[in-house]
Structure 1
Amino acid sequence: MSAVKLQANDCPISKIFSNDFIFTIPLYQRPYAWTTEQAGELLEDLVTALGDSDDKIDDINPYFLGNIVLIKGDKPDAQVVDGQQRLTTLTVLLAALRASVSKENIHILTKYLYQEDDFDPNDNVYRLTVRERDAQFFKEYIQDEGGIDKLKNLHTAKLSDSRKNFKENTLLFVKRLQSFTNSQLLRLTQFILKRCFLVVVSTPDIDSAYRIFSVINNRGMDLSHADILKAEIIGKISLEQQEKYSAKWEEMEERLGRDIFKSLFSHIRMIHVKSKPRESILKEFLNDIKPINTPQQLIDKILIPYAEAFYEINNLAYHSDILGEEVNQKFRWLHLIDNSDWIPPAILYLSRNYNNPELLLRFFTDLDRLASGLMIQRNNINERIERYGKLLYSIEIGEDLYVPDSPLQLKPEEQARIIKILNDDLYLIRKIRLYVLLRLDAALSEGKASYNFCNISVEHVLPQNPTSDSMWVQSFASQEERDKYVHRMGNLVLLSSSKNAQAQNYDFDLKKQKYFTTKSGICNFALTTQVLMEKEWTPEVINKRQQQLIHQLKEVWRLQ
C-alpha cells in the first residue's frame, strides 16, 4: 500500500482566502452552528490580540486560530473535513468588515470573499461554498457586495437555524465594528489577513483526512464515517432526488440514534466482506460495497432494510401476532452477550425472513446458543469473526443451518468444553458467571422472571473466608474441601442489592434470613429461593444442586 501524501502548513488568512484554495463544505457536514456567543468571542479575541499599540502590523505577535483538515490535491479545490465553523465565521467577519469600511476600501476586501470574473458576475469564484442547502443564501446575503444590507431586512423567524446564525453573527459583527474608526477597521483587517494563521492539514485521501481529524480534534469526534458515506453516496444521486434520499438517510439516523447508526455500517461491512477489517470501515465500505450498487439501491435495498432490522433487534421491537414476544426474548438474551459480533448475522437473517416468525424463532434460538457457547468458551475475536463470517456465507447462499456441521451449530467437542467449564469454578470466570446464573434463573422461573434491578450480584452460600468458630468449618471440615466447593455453580446465588460484607459469613440459617431475602422477607430469584428451601448446606447438597443446575443448562442450550 503506497504512503499517503500529507501536508501541514501554517497559512496566514490572506493565503487561506486566496486563489490557492477553493473551499467546499461537503454534504456530510452539519449545518453552520456557531451562535453569537462563539462568534463574539472570536472577534473579541482578535481585537485583544491586536491590542491598541502603534506597532507596525508585521511586528505584532502572530495569532493562531487552530487547525483545519482538508481533502485536497494539487489543485485549489479543497473539501473541509474539519474547520467549517471557523472558516465560515471568518468569511462572515470579512464580509462585516467590508460593510463597515469606507467605500474606497470595499473592493480590497471583496477579493478575499470571491474572485471576480471580468465579464460575468455569475462566473465569480467564491473562496468558500457552504453546504448546498445554504450556499445560494450565503453568497447572496453575506459574500456578495451589498448583501448585508439586504440581510438586515430578512425576518429571522422564517429562517432555518443555520441561516439564522449567519444573520445574527453578521449583524453582531457589524454592530461591534461601528465603534471602530475607519483607520482602526483597516488596522484590524490587516492584522487578521497578515498576522492571523490557520494550520492547514491536507491529504488527497478521504480516509486519511478523517483519521487525521479524529486524532487532532480533542473536542470529541462530531464527524463520523457515516457522515462521509452520506456525502459519497447521496452526492452521486441526481440533484432532483438528493433531497428525497437525504430525508430517507436522516430518518434512519434519527430512528436508530447517531451512535447506533454509525455502528450499522461496520455491521453491513461484515455482512458483505465476512472477515475481520483489513482497513478502515470507511475505506472498505467505499471500495467493497458502494461500487456494486447504485446509490439508490444502496439506500433502498441495503441500508433501509438493515437499519429496520437493526432497530428491531436493539429495541426488542419485532412484531408478529404469533411468536413475536418469543423472538424478542431471544434478542434480550443476545444483548447480554459481551460482544456484538453476533449482530451482522442477526440483521441479515431478520431482514430476509421478517414475515416468517417460526423460522426466526428457530434461528435466533440457535444463534443465542452459539453466541452463549462462544462467550462461555472465551473464544477470541478472531475466532468469533471467522465463525460468524462462515455463518453469514451460509445464510447468504441458503444452506441448511440445522445440520450438525453448520456454523450455526455447536460441535460436540465445543459442547463438551462448555459443560466442563460450567462444572468447574464458575465464580472465578468473572465475565460469564452472572450471565450463566441469569440464564439458569430464567429457566427455573419458566421465563416469568424480570431482571430490572440496578445491581445484581453473584454471591456464595458457603462463604469464601468463614471464621474459624463458624458452623461452616464444621460442615466443611478441611480447607481443601471448602476450596473444592466454594466457587462452583452449586454454591452460588443471585442477589438484587448490596449487602453488608460481614453478613456473607453468617451461619446458614441466619444467612438465609438476613442475607438472601429482601427487607420484606422475599427473594427475587428462583435460583436463590432454591437455597432457602434447604435445611442445611453441606458438600452433598452442593453436589446435588450442581448436577441439577448443569442438567438445567444442558436443556437450555441443548448440550450433550
Structure 2
Amino acid sequence: MQSRTLSPTDIFSHHTRYVVPLFQRPYVWNRDEQWEPLWEDVRVVAERLLDPGNGGFPPSPHFLGAVVLDQQSTPSGYIAVRRVIDGQQRLTTLQLLLDAVRRVVQQHGEPMDEQALKILVRNESQIARHPSEVFKVWPTDRDQAGFQAVMGEETDHGQTASPLVHAHGFFVGTITEWALAGGEDNPLDTPARRLGALVHTVRDHLRLVVIDLEPGDNAQVIFETLNHRGSPLLAADLIKNLLFQVAEGQGADIDLLYREYWAPMDYDYWRQKVSQGRRLRPRIDMFFQAWLTMRLRQEIAQDRIFLEFRDLLRRERAVVAELMAEIAADARVYRDMTEMPQHTVEGTFHYRVVKALDTAVVAPLQLWLMGWNESRMPEEQRHLALRALESWLVRRSLCRATVKDINRLVVELLKAVHEAGPEQAGEAVRRHLEDQRADSRYWIDDEQLRTVLDTAPLYKSLTRPRLRMLLEALEDSLRGPMGEGQQCPRQLTVEHVMPQEWGEHWGDGVVGDPEAEQRREEHIHVLGNLTLVNGKLNPAMSNRPWRDATAVARGLPGTGKRALLLEHSTLKLNARLAVGNEKEWTESDIDQRTEHLVDHIVRIWPRTGPSARSAVITVQAEAGDTEEERPQSEPLGNVYQGKYQSLWSWLRNQVQDQVPMSFSEVAEIAGMPLPESAYNHAAHWYAYEGSALGRAIRDAGWRATEVDLLAETVCFARSDPED
C-alpha cells in the first residue's frame, strides 16, 4: 500500500478513469453538510490568493481527505482504470466542482483557464473506446445518468431529481454569484481575476491523500479499518499534543502546565457536541475556531483549525507556557459567555443572538469584547457594541434579509475594534455597521422595518424560537427598562389571539364574504394578533370566542378568551390587549396593536446613524439605459401614501403599456413580502377596495391582468384614463 498527497492536477491531468464499483452506495452528499462547507473552504483559499496583504506568499493548501484506489489491469492502448475502494463521494463531488468552475469560467473568465480545467474533467474523446470513457470519474449505475446530464457537453435537464444535478447547479450558481460580487469598491476586482484565483485554487491548492493498493492488499479489510474502527481525533486533541510536544522541547514543566492550564478544558463539558446551525460539533473545537478567528482576524474553516494553530505557533515562535495561559483565560471567558445572567446586556445578547437567532458565528467578536477588563474597556463601550450588533441581526432577521455574509462581517468588525482599541470598541462596531451599503450588509432602517412588520405573517416566516424571543423582548420592554423589572418567563407558547380556525366562533359577518374572509386571513399571522401564554393555558384558549357572553350563548363551558387571558396570564402583553378590547377583537384592533408593538421594536433595537436608503428606490431603466435610483419625493403624479409606495412609484415611472412580471419581482420592487392571499386568490390583485396591493396598482394608473396563481405571474396593463 502506497500513500501520496496529491493535488487535483496530479490526480486528474492524466488519461485515467476512476470507476466506482456497482455494489457501492449511490451519491448521498448534500448542500448543508458537504457542498456548502466545501465551497466556503475553497472560497477562503481563493480570496487569500486575491488578497494583496498576503505579500505574495501562497496560502496553505486545503486538505479534502483521503481516497483508496485499486489498480486494474488495462490492455495497452486503453485508458488506465482504477477502482475506487473508498472516497467515491469525495472524488465525484470534486469533479462536479471542477466542472462547475469551468462552466462559469466559460461565461465570465479567460479561455486559457477554461482549457486548464477541461483537461481535469474530460479524457480526450479520440482515445475513448466508449462514450463513458471521456469522464475521469464514472459513478455507480444509479448515478450515471445524472452524472452524464451535467458533465456532458450537452447538458440534459431530464435528470432534475438527481442529487448530482443539484450539486452541480449549486456550485454553478454560488460560484457565479461570488465571481460577479467584486468590483464595488475595487474596479480591479473583476470576475475574470476572481475566477483566475479560483481556478488556481481548485487545481493546485487542494490536497487529497491517495492510497494506492498493491497486489495482495485486502481491499475490504482496508475499507473497514478506515470507516468502522477507532474514534476520530478532535482538532483540540491535535492542538493539545502539539502544545505539549513543543513545551517539552522548551524545557517546561509539563505536569504543571497541564494542571494549571489544560486540565480545566479536559473534561466532558468541553467535548460535548452542541448545535451550530444544522450541525453538532464538539464545544472545544468551536472554541478554538472562535479563538483563532479572533486572534488572526480571518475566517477559519472548521477542518483547518489545527493547521492554522500549528502555523500560528511556528510563525510567532511563542513560549508555550504563555500561549497556554492566554488560551486558558479565553476559554474561561468563552464559557462565561453562555452563563451570564439574562437580565444583563451580555446575557441578553447571548440568549437572543446566539440561541434564538442561532448565530454562533458572532462568537469571535463576542469573545474579544468579553475578554477585556473594566480598566481597558469601559462597560458602556462593550454594551454599545453588543447592542448595535444585536440590532443589526434582529432587524435583518425580522425582514427575512440574508445574513450569509456574516462570517466576513465578523472578521471586518474584529479588524475595526482591533484598530480602534478596547476604549472605543463600541463606537467602532456601530460606525462599521452604519457604513454598510451592500444588500447583504445593510442595517435595516426604521421605515423598511415598519413597512415589513405591518403586514408580514411572522407566525409563518419566523422560526418558533425567533418569534418567541421577539414577543419576550416586547414583554420585557413593556415591563420597563432592563434590570428594573422581572423578566418575561422563557419557553412560553406562542398563541394567536384571533384563532387560526376562526370560522367556528369568530365568523359572524365574515363567512360568505370573499373580500372579508381574505382580509381576515391576511391578519391572522401578523404581529398584532400574536401573544404568549403558558403551556397549560394554550389548549384551554384554543378557538374560543372573545367574549364570555358569546361562549355561553354557544354552549361552551367556561369563559371567553379575553377572560382567560386576564385570569391566568401575568404578562403585560395580554393585560393591555384584554383591558383595552372589552367587547371585540377585530382586524382594526390587530392593526393598531401591530403599530404599537412595532414602535417598541424600533426602540428595543434602534438603528443609529443616517437612514441611507429610506429616500431612494430602485426603478426599472428604459430601454438602452442602466438601472438608476430616483428620489421618492419626485413622483410623476398625485401623492400616494399607502404601504406599497415603492411599487406605486415604480409603476408611475414606466413608459411601456404592458409589463409582465413574476410575483417575486413584484415583491422585490415593493420592498416587502407579498401577503399570502396574493398567492392564493387572484381577486387580491383586482379587489381595489379590499386590497392595499390592488389599490396601489389602481392609484398608479395601472391594472393587473393575466394573474396566474400556479405560475406566480402577473401582467400590469396601463389603465384607460376613462376607466
- Asked if residue 538 in structure 1 is aligned to residue 573 in structure 2, the reply is no
Q: Please tell me whether the aligned partners of residues 256 and 307 of structure 1 are also in contact (alpha carbons under 8 angstroms).
A: no
From 2, 18, 23, the equivalent of 2:6 is 2
Matched residue, 2:337 = 313
**Relative to 1, partners in 2 of residues 1:449 and 1:518: Cα closer, same or farther, differing over 3 Å?**
farther
1:457 Cα deviation from its structure 2 partner? 1.9
SS in 1 for 2:494: strand
1:408 Cα deviation from its structure 2 partner? 4.0
In structure 2, C-alpha distance between the alignment counterparts of 1:502 and 1:317, rounded to whole Å? 33
| Structure that is richer in helix per residue | 1
Matched residue, 2:596 = 548
In structure 1, C-alpha distance between the alignment counterparts of 2:393 and 2:578, rounded to whole Å? 32
- The structure number with the bigger radius of gyration is 1
- Asked if residue 281 in structure 1 is aligned to residue 286 in structure 2, the reply is no
Matched residue, 1:383 = 405
1:449 Cα deviation from its structure 2 partner? 4.2
Matched residue, 2:458 = 426
1:351 Cα deviation from its structure 2 partner? 0.9
How many residues are paired up? 353
From 333, 336, 347, the equivalent of 1:328 is 347
1:421 Cα deviation from its structure 2 partner? 3.3
User: Which structure ranks higher in relative contact order (CA pairs < 8 Å, sequence separation ≥ 6)?
Assistant: 1
Matched residue, 1:297 = 322
1:283 Cα deviation from its structure 2 partner? 3.9
- Asked if residue 232 in structure 1 is aligned to residue 242 in structure 2, the reply is yes
- Asked if residue 458 in structure 1 is aligned to residue 491 in structure 2, the reply is no
- Asked if residue 528 in structure 1 is aligned to residue 528 in structure 2, the reply is no
Matched residue, 1:437 = 471
* Matches for 1:177-192 after TM superposition, within 5 Å: none
SS in 1 for 2:427: coil
SS in 1 for 2:499: coil
Deviations 1:505-559 (A, max 9, x none): 2111248956577799330422122222121212221111111101000001114
Matched residue, 2:720 = none
Instruction: Using the aligned pairs only, state the percent identity.
Output: 14
1:441 Cα deviation from its structure 2 partner? 1.3
TM superposition score normalised by structure 2? 0.43
1:229 Cα deviation from its structure 2 partner? 0.8
Matched residue, 2:415 = 393
SS in 1 for 2:531: strand
1:279 Cα deviation from its structure 2 partner? 6.3
Q: Please tell me whether the aligned partners of residues 477 and 604 of structure 2 are also in contact (alpha carbons under 8 angstroms).
A: yes
Q: Please tell me whether the aligned partners of residues 495 and 533 of structure 2 are also in contact (alpha carbons under 8 angstroms).
A: yes
Q: Please tell me whether the aligned partners of residues 472 and 507 of structure 1 are also in contact (alpha carbons under 8 angstroms).
A: no
**Relative to 1, partners in 2 of residues 1:546 and 1:475: Cα closer, same or farther, differing over 3 Å?**
farther
SS in 2 for 1:508: coil
1:307 Cα deviation from its structure 2 partner? 1.0
Matched residue, 2:545 = 507
What is the one-letter code of the residue matched to 1:464? Q
Q: Please tell me whether the aligned partners of residues 458 and 525 of structure 2 are also in contact (alpha carbons under 8 angstroms).
A: yes
In structure 1, C-alpha distance between the alignment counterparts of 2:268 and 2:328, rounded to whole Å? 11
Q: Please tell me whether the aligned partners of residues 510 and 517 of structure 2 are also in contact (alpha carbons under 8 angstroms).
A: no
* Matches for 1:163-312 after TM superposition, within 5 Å: 216=228, 223-238=233-248, 240-247=252-259, 248-254=261-267, 257-259=270-272, 260-278=283-301, 280-293=303-316, 294=318, 295-301=320-326, 303-312=327-336
What is the one-letter code of the residue matched to 1:457? T
Q: Please tell me whether the aligned partners of residues 440 and 552 of structure 1 are also in contact (alpha carbons under 8 angstroms).
A: yes
**Relative to 1, partners in 2 of residues 1:230 and 1:348: Cα closer, same or farther, differing over 3 Å?**
same
**Relative to 1, partners in 2 of residues 1:326 and 1:500: Cα closer, same or farther, differing over 3 Å?**
closer
**Relative to 1, partners in 2 of residues 1:313 and 1:537: Cα closer, same or farther, differing over 3 Å?**
same
In structure 1, C-alpha distance between the alignment counterparts of 2:301 and 2:268, rounded to whole Å? 30
SS in 1 for 2:471: helix
Structure 2: where are the runs of 5+ without partners? Answer: 11-65, 67-219, 273-282, 437-441, 552-557, 612-723
1:418 Cα deviation from its structure 2 partner? 3.6
Structure 1: where are the runs of 5+ without partners? Answer: 6-69, 71-197, 203-211, 319-323
SS in 2 for 1:316: coil
In structure 2, C-alpha distance between the alignment counterparts of 1:271 and 1:385, rounded to whole Å? 12
Q: Please tell me whether the aligned partners of residues 385 and 429 of structure 2 are also in contact (alpha carbons under 8 angstroms).
A: no
Deviations 1:72-98 (A, max 9, x none): xxxxxxxxxxxxxxxxxxxxxxxxxxx
Matched residue, 1:191 = none
In structure 2, C-alpha distance between the alignment counterparts of 1:497 and 1:279, rounded to whole Å? 39
Matched residue, 1:414 = 444
In structure 1, C-alpha distance between the alignment counterparts of 2:560 and 2:302, rounded to whole Å? 56
**Relative to 1, partners in 2 of residues 1:549 and 1:381: Cα closer, same or farther, differing over 3 Å?**
closer
**Relative to 1, partners in 2 of residues 1:540 and 1:367: Cα closer, same or farther, differing over 3 Å?**
same
In structure 2, C-alpha distance between the alignment counterparts of 1:391 and 1:545, rounded to whole Å? 37
Q: Please tell me whether the aligned partners of residues 370 and 409 of structure 1 are also in contact (alpha carbons under 8 angstroms).
A: no
Matched residue, 2:388 = 366
In structure 2, C-alpha distance between the alignment counterparts of 1:232 and 1:385, rounded to whole Å? 28
SS in 2 for 1:235: helix
What is the one-letter code of the residue matched to 1:558? P
**Relative to 1, partners in 2 of residues 1:519 and 1:358: Cα closer, same or farther, differing over 3 Å?**
closer
Deviations 1:319-349 (A, max 9, x none): xxxxx94443444433432220111101011
CA RMSD in angstroms, aligned pairs only: 4.0
